[in-house]
């Protein structure tokens, strides 16, 4: 079955040309059908500069755009014809299997909740992303969907993360850590101290305890669970340090002529290093817990990042992530979720 990916061509800081270029490359690599959603004239102009041979591309008109500084929830309600709303309706109407957007992430989430709705039993969706680590990849969630979650939300984040890593990476019984300011079970802010016993009480989660900031990039566990505020800060700090270090290295190795010559010989090493660090290679962040495969790409996404986000979208659709999460949560919710959470606290 060919996967049909709808791409919000108007989202992102770099304009439709970059999105269209990346989406086309991604559709070609993934052998997916591409639905480009947005201003038809702008999309056609972008397409006219590219080689579309061999790719099944359709342009879907959307007459409005949610801006990066729009209030997310208000904008998606007031702009029903915005590219993100139109793209998501393609999933709801059965015309697309996944949506990729580099737009205002709050708006993507609000529109997803409005158009697709939450998976039954899920209290709050979460944004998840792979982080490059020494040992491979770690899934970090939430990255900003819920800045002040309830303890039971984080238990569901762990469950959704588990489904993602099991289905997409085929890792059985992935290890789960709770992000904290120390490894000891007594460490943590009030939220972490409430969540720790809840996670420890879940028999079907491979919870290994608290982990620290360094563990996010050390590959200590398969999944790191945290609130959306802390997760966002950790991700952006990691991106910042990576940028800083590559910049520092560039300065140092070009400081003198002999260094420049040696650096020239090391080009393959640097290229390989950059690719291991490049968040563009890691791709988009799936919005877990909504009824559909929705992939949020970075606002500053390059064409390469959009291409990578498409591959995440294809896999999310192929492996029926939303269906997997629904099954996983149904197992938990034979009694209502918040009652279950309370029971575990007492136990």
Residues of this chain that interact with its own copies (CB under 8 A) are 69, 71, 133-134, 144, 147-148, 179-182, 184, 186, 188-190, 192, 212-218, 226-230, 232-245, 247-249, 252-253, 255, 258-259, 261-263, 265-266, 268-270, 272-273, 276-277
Minimum CB distance to its own copies smaller for 272 or for 343: 272
Query: Among residues 94 and 258, whose Cβ is nearest to its own copies?
Result: 258
Nearer CB in complex with its own copies: 197/219: 219
Q: For the CB of residue 283, give the shortest distance to its own copies in the complex, in Å.
A: 19
Least spacing, CB of residue 207 vs its own copies, in Å: 18
SS (H, E, C) the chain: CCCEEEEECCCCCCCHHHHHHHHHHHHHHHCCEEEEEECHHHHHHHHHCCCCCCCCEEEEECCECCCCCCCHHHHHHHCCCEHHHHHHHHHHCCCCCEEEECCCHHHHHHHHHHHCCECCCCCCCEEEEEEEECCEEEEEECCCCCCCCCHHHHHHHHHHHHHHHHHHCCCCCCEEEEECCCCCCCCCCHHHHHHHHHHHCCCCCEEEEEECHHHHHHCCCCEEECCHHHHHHHHHHHHHHHHHHHHHHHHHHCCCHHHHHHHHHCHHHHHHHHHHHCHHHHCCEEEECECCEEEECCCCCCHHHHHHHHHHHHHHHHCCHHHHHHHHHHHHCCCCHHHHHHHHHHC
State how far the Cα of 236 lies from the Cα of 322, in Å rounded to an integer: 27
* CB contact at 8 A, 159 and 306: no
**Minimum CB–partner distance for residue 167 and its own copies (Å):** 27
Q: Which one, 41 or 248, has the nearer CB to its own copies?
A: 248
User: What is the chain's alpha carbon radius of gyration, rounded to the nearest angstrom?
Assistant: 21
Angle ∠(137,291,99) on CA atoms, nearest 5:
65
Q: How far is CA 259 from the centre of its chain?
A: 39
Of 56 and 252, CB closest to its own copies? 252
Smallest distance, its own copies to C-beta of residue 337, A:
22
Q: Which is nearer to its own copies, 64 or 212 (CB)?
A: 212
Smallest distance from the beta carbon of 345 to its own copies, in angstroms? 19
* Residue (239 or 332) nearer to its own copies, CB: 239
Rounded to the nearest whole angstrom, what is the least distance from the CB of residue 298 to its own copies in the complex? 12
CB of 313 to its own copies, least distance (A): 24
Which CB atom, from 71 or from 304, has the smaller least distance to its own copies? 71
Residue closer to its own copies (CB basis): 238 or 314 = 238
The C-alpha angle with vertex 158 and arms to 98 and 99, in degrees rounded to 5, equals 10
Closer residue to its own copies, CB minimum distance, 92 or 266: 266
Half-sphere exposure of 129 (CA within 13 A, CB side): 29
Q: How far is the CB of 143 from its own copies (least distance, A)?
A: 9
Other Cβ atoms within 10 Å of 160 Cβ, number: 29
Report the nearest approach of its own copies to the CB of residue 100 (Å). 21
Shortest separation between residue 135's beta carbon and its own copies, angstroms? 10
């Amino acid at each position: 079955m060919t996967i049909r990916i709808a791409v919000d061509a108007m989202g992102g800081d770099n304009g439709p040309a970059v999105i269209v270029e990346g989406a086309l490359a991604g559709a070609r690599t993934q052998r997916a059908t591409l639905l480009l959603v947005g201003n038809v004239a702008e999309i056609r102009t972008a397409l006219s500069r590219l080689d579309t041979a061999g790719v099944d591309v359709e342009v879907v008109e959307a007459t409005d755009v949610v801006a990066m500084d729009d209030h997310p929830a208000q904008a998606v309600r007031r702009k029903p014809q915005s590219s993100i709303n139109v793209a998501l309706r393609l999933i709801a109407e059965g015309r697309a299997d996944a949506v990729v957007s580099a737009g205002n992430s709050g708006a993507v989430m609000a529109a997803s909740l409005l158009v697709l709705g939450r998976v039954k039993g899920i209290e709050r969706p979460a944004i998840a992303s792979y982080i490059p680590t020494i040992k491979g990849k770690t899934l970090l969630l939430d990255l900003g969907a819920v800045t002040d979650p309830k303890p039971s939300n984080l238990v569901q984040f762990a469950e959704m993360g588990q489904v993602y890593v099991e289905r997409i990476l085929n890792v059985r019984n992935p290890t789960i850590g709770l992000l904290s300011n120390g490894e000891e079970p007594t460490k943590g802010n009030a939220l972490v101290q409430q969540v720790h016993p809840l996670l420890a009480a879940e028999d079907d989660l491979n919870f290994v305890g608290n982990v620290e900031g360094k563990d996010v990039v050390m590959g200590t566990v398969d999944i790191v669970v945290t609130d959306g505020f802390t997760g966002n800060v950790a991700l952006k700090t990691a991106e910042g340090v990576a940028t800083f270090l590559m910049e520092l290295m560039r300065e140092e190795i070009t400081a003198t002529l002999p260094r420049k010559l040696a650096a020239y010989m090391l080009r393959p090493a640097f290229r390989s290093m950059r690719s291991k660090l490049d968040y563009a290679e890691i791709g988009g962040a799936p919005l877990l817990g909504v009824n559909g495969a929705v992939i949020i790409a970075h606002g500053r996404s390059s064409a390469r990042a959009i291409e990578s986000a498409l591959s995440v979208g294809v896999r999310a659709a192929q492996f029926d992530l939303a269906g997997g999460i629904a099954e996983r949560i149904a197992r938990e919710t034979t009694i209502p979720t918040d009652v279950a959470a309370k029971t575990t606290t007492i136990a």
